[in-house]
Structure 1
Amino acid sequence: MKLQRTNRLRAVALGAIAVSGALVLTACGSDDNSGGSGGDTTKAASKIKCDGEGKLLASGSSAQKNAMDIWTQTYQSACSSTQLNYKPTGSGAGIQEFLQGKTAFAGSDSALEPKEVQQSKKVCKGGQAIDLPMVGGPVAVTYNLKGVDDLVLDAETLGKIFDSKITKWNDAAIKKLNPDAKLPGTKIQAFHRSDESGTTDNFTKYLNTAAPGAWKYEPSKAWAGKGGQGADGSSGIATNVKQNDGAIGYVELSYATGNDLSTVKLDTGASEPVEATTENASKAIADAKVVGKGKDLALELNYKTKADSAYPITLVTYEIACDKGNKKESLDATKSFLKYTAGEDGQKVLSEKGYAPIPDEIIAKVRTTVDSLA
């Protein structure tokens, strides 16, 4: 996507609000629980303006599932006349269901491609689909290696690991980055997403941009590397990494923390290796540029950042909706729900679950755009 305009984003302070855990949406399994105070949930719910009624169907990104769990529980505690059903089927599947007119909106960890925007005009009568950045956060490289609880890797080494060019944990390249670690000769088991995934798209954009010599494949939602083992969804990768000594994979931070998995620190060229945290992800998102046209708010991330404490494998999850031509039966509820998620209370709950709120400058534009959906 060509750059149309650029806006520097400023970093934002992260806040957290605890919320309670009864979930009402239909979704695939997660190891995470939404624990917290029912009083806080009630307080947040009391501020939601409810519009519309009936079923509100959505699907897509599994990266935002844990955030969507909280948002859905809070929203439905306020708006009982709307039954929200978000299925974390993966970004690729979610976009396809939206383009087929099966859902009111979709979640995607990658901005729409030009051909998808063109296809959306058949569904969005008189308009087209747009990207609304709603959730940010790091893609953590998780690993399970007996006796090693502190591991540093760089883009080149990661590219070779996930392309089966480095196959043992005591490889010289890994030793060089971890001179004090006792690395065993355990075989590396690299897990990647078997489904089309925006997480894969972002991860491979990082590898291709930061280490093009080691990762020559074009970034894609579909896995292109050689070897390795596929797993369904972020939860599938997290489960497999947890169960196998020598395993490595990539998941959103919430899946790593929810499964008590170790995460890799990245050697980016900064003064110190960078840990996958929401704060460090926010520093990277703050270096992004807006590249969308009109009401579209697609972002271009800087995967080669060397800024201190900026974690470069960062994704932004978008809610995909029509700027015009939304279905009348779901428009009011869609706007009501997205106003909440983009609002102050909706954004505040994110950091508790390992996500980064969208910087103020951009989320303000998201709110204005949601108001204008027709």
Structure 2
Amino acid sequence: MISKRSAGLLGLAVAGVLALTSCAANEAAAPTDSDESASTLEGTLSGAGASSQGSAQEAWIAAFQTANTGVTINYDPSGSGAGREAFIAGGVAWAGSDSALSDDELGGEFGACAPDTKAIDLPTYISPIAVIFNVEGVDELNLDAATLASIFKGTITTWNDPAIAALNEGASLPSTPITAVHRSDDSGTTKNFADYLNKVAPDVWDAKPADAFPYQTGEGAQGTSGVVDAVTNGVGTIGYADASKAGDLGTAKIKVGDEFVAYTPEAAAAVVEESPLVEGREDNDIAISLDRTTTDPTHYPLVLVSYSIVCSEYADAAQGELVKAYIGYITSDEGQQEAATSAGAAPLSADLAGRVATALEAVK
């Protein structure tokens, strides 16, 4: 179970919008007519980061706009790495990131934060990572971690390779060359994908998980949308992306224990539920160390937790109040239900949402 708390989370939610999309916001509550008239919030709040959060951020910002006409929210889905860099430099008030801040990042300064204070990681969106593919004549695909790692490392190069055929008995696999599409930008989705392969198939995927794709193989594409477009428009293509963006593409089942498991929000959430918090963090830092090696077929371990990274104390107190209002809304019951509708996510558990709310109360 997650340390320092019992219980778990059932789900997913959240994502980014077109760069510098303007909208206004609501304080940790569903937007209503009375909220509109009561809102006294004013100002502009800018964030950047995970493109996986796209659909949910779109919905959240629209709801925020309806409820708080005096507030403008901008979110640039530039990727997790770029978002963290912008936040560290003080260019944005919060970052969306599919990986938590590293120890090295936590040891530095944060431009938007008050001197001698730190940033914290707040889970906002939990999602399966889908292995998407586009292979003529192939509607279903089973892959284990070692075979998936070999495909993206470039050592398996055709779709009728014996390793793939052995996992897909009876399937008619073409001799088409494989084009494995990865993120060309620094991406928390890549880091989560690599972390899964490194932990489950370390003999094949021997690179340390990082936001940058580690091997000089395959085809690179910018952002989640770039990967999805490349897989959709290519021939014999395979890639990885937030499941909310899989669309009509084929999605592979991955081997968990002795079974092949399709992604679902519930199966992804089950992994998070039984994973511990990262040790050695600030009390209000809720970074999760995901258990990738589960053999329970009710779990889908190729999962990401996307965070809102915020200051524990802001140099500009007005920005702190806007952050508390906006992140409070998107992690509230109403915000999570909005994301579930727009991005196919399951809500944060009551326990996890409560921990986030407690952390936000301490933000200054």
> Which among 32, 49, 52 is matched to residue 60 of structure 1?
49
Find the counterpart in structure 2 of residue 119 from structure 1: 108
**Counterpart-to-counterpart distance in 2, 1:185 and 1:8:** 50
> Which among 205, 209, 215 is matched to residue 195 of structure 2?
205
Distance 1:51 1:331, change over 3 A: farther
1:50/1:336 contact within 8 Å kept: no
**Counterpart-to-counterpart distance in 1, 2:140 and 2:17:** 37
Once the two structures are superposed, residues 126-147 of structure 1 have per-residue CA deviations (whole angstroms, 9 ceiling, x without a partner) of: 4101000010000100000111
TM-score by length of 1: 0.88
Distance 1:198 1:101, change over 3 A: same
**Counterpart-to-counterpart distance in 2, 1:88 and 1:25:** 6
Shift of 1:305: 1.2
Tell me the number of residue pairs that the alignment of Structure 1 and Structure 2 aligns. Answer: 347
**Counterpart-to-counterpart distance in 2, 1:218 and 1:51:** 47
2:11/2:346 contact within 8 Å kept: no
**Counterpart-to-counterpart distance in 1, 2:266 and 2:252:** 16
Which stretches in structure 1 are left out of the alignment for 5+ residues? 16-23, 30-42
**Counterpart-to-counterpart distance in 2, 1:28 and 1:165:** 40
**Counterpart-to-counterpart distance in 2, 1:66 and 1:266:** 25
Once the two structures are superposed, residues 101-123 of structure 1 have per-residue CA deviations (whole angstroms, 9 ceiling, x without a partner) of: 11111100001011111223554
Find the counterpart in structure 2 of residue 144 from structure 1: 134
Find the counterpart in structure 2 of residue 285 from structure 1: 272
Shift of 1:288: 1.5
Task: Find the residue that maps to 2:256 and give its secondary structure.
Answer: coil
**Which range moves more in the overlay, 273-282 or 142-151?**
273-282
Confirm or deny that 1:274 pairs with 2:266. no
**Counterpart-to-counterpart distance in 2, 1:134 and 1:57:** 17
Find the counterpart in structure 2 of residue 248 from structure 1: 238
Confirm or deny that 1:314 pairs with 2:303. yes
**Which range moves more in the overlay, 303-312 or 129-138?**
303-312
Find the counterpart in structure 2 of residue 44 from structure 1: 30
**Counterpart-to-counterpart distance in 1, 2:3 and 2:297:** 26
**Counterpart-to-counterpart distance in 2, 1:313 and 1:357:** 18
> Which among 312, 328, 340 is matched to residue 339 of structure 1?
328
> Which among 223, 228, 248 is matched to residue 213 of structure 2?
223
Percent identity of equivalent pairs: 37
Task: Find the residue that maps to 1:184 and give its secondary structure.
Answer: coil
TM-score by length of 2: 0.90
> Which among 252, 257, 278 is matched to residue 264 of structure 1?
252
Find the counterpart in structure 1 of residue 146 from structure 2: 156
**Counterpart-to-counterpart distance in 2, 1:304 and 1:72:** 36
State the one-letter code of the partner of 1:273.
Answer: F
Distance 1:122 1:240, change over 3 A: closer
Shift of 1:94: 0.4
Once the two structures are superposed, residues 227-277 of structure 1 have per-residue CA deviations (whole angstroms, 9 ceiling, x without a partner) of: 1110000000000100112000000001102xx11100011214x311112
Which stretches in structure 2 are left out of the alignment for 5+ residues? 22-28
The Cα RMSD (Å) is: 2.2
Distance 1:201 1:55, change over 3 A: same
Find the counterpart in structure 1 of residue 163 from structure 2: 173
1:51/1:332 contact within 8 Å kept: no
1:9/1:289 contact within 8 Å kept: no
Shift of 1:303: 0.8
> Which among 67, 70, 75 is matched to residue 81 of structure 1?
70
> Which among 225, 239, 253 is matched to residue 235 of structure 1?
225
Task: Find the residue that maps to 1:361 and give its secondary structure.
Answer: helix
Distance 1:276 1:28, change over 3 A: farther
Task: Find the residue that maps to 1:63 and give its secondary structure.
Answer: helix
Shift of 1:355: 2.6
Task: Find the residue that maps to 2:95 and give its secondary structure.
Answer: strand
Task: Find the residue that maps to 1:273 and give its secondary structure.
Answer: strand
State the one-letter code of the partner of 1:222.
Answer: A
**Which range moves more in the overlay, 121-130 or 106-115?**
121-130
**Counterpart-to-counterpart distance in 2, 1:7 and 1:332:** 27
**Counterpart-to-counterpart distance in 2, 1:348 and 1:319:** 17
Task: Find the residue that maps to 2:107 and give its secondary structure.
Answer: helix
Find the counterpart in structure 2 of residue 38 from structure 1: none
2:120/2:282 contact within 8 Å kept: no
Structure 1 stretches of at least 4 aligned residues deviating more than 6 Å after TM superposition: none
Once the two structures are superposed, residues 67-116 of structure 1 have per-residue CA deviations (whole angstroms, 9 ceiling, x without a partner) of: 10110001111011101000000000000111111111110000101111
